[in-house]
Amino acid sequence: MAAPASVRVCCEHGSVVVARSPAASRCQADREVWVRSIGMDVHRDFCEVAIAEGGAVRAAGRIQTQPAALALFAQSLVASDEVAI
């Protein structure tokens, strides 16, 4: 496995870096299965989101920390996604 990729998520505070999880891929029934790792930098009014998938990490933008916005984001997740806040 290559060295973990990372991306700075919160430029506003400059303190959060999301790195690909060591469990970014799993072996399942003799095949490697990639899982999506989602990092959330949670603030009072918003969350910065980064997604590690297929060996690459990308910034996914900002979502509001309001019930409707978080529910919409949650609907985009699948059972194998790993989320860290």
pLDDT for 60 equals 93
| Burial category of 19 from C-beta neighbours within 10 Å (exposed 0-12, middle 13-18, buried 19 and up) | middle
Rounded Cα–Cα distance for residues 75 and 57 (Å): 21
Q: Checking DSSP bridges between strand 25-28 and strand 31-34, what pairing results, if any? A: antiparallel
Q: What is the mean pLDDT of residues 5-29?
A: 49
Higher pLDDT, 44 or 25: 44
**pTM as predicted:** 0.62
For 82, residues 6+ apart whose C-beta sits below 8 A from its C-beta are 21, 23, 35, 36, 37, 38
- Please state the domain extents for the chain: 6-84
Q: What is the pLDDT of residues 38-73, one digit of tens each?
A: 999 999 999 999 999 988 999 999 999 999 999 999
Q: Residue 30: which pLDDT band, with cuts at 50, 70 and 90? A: low
The percent of residues above 70 in pLDDT, for the chain, comes to: 61
pLDDT at residue 29, rounded to an integer: 58
Say if residues 20 and 57 touch (Cβ distance below 8 Å). Answer: yes
Residue 39 · residue 58 · CB < 8 Å = no
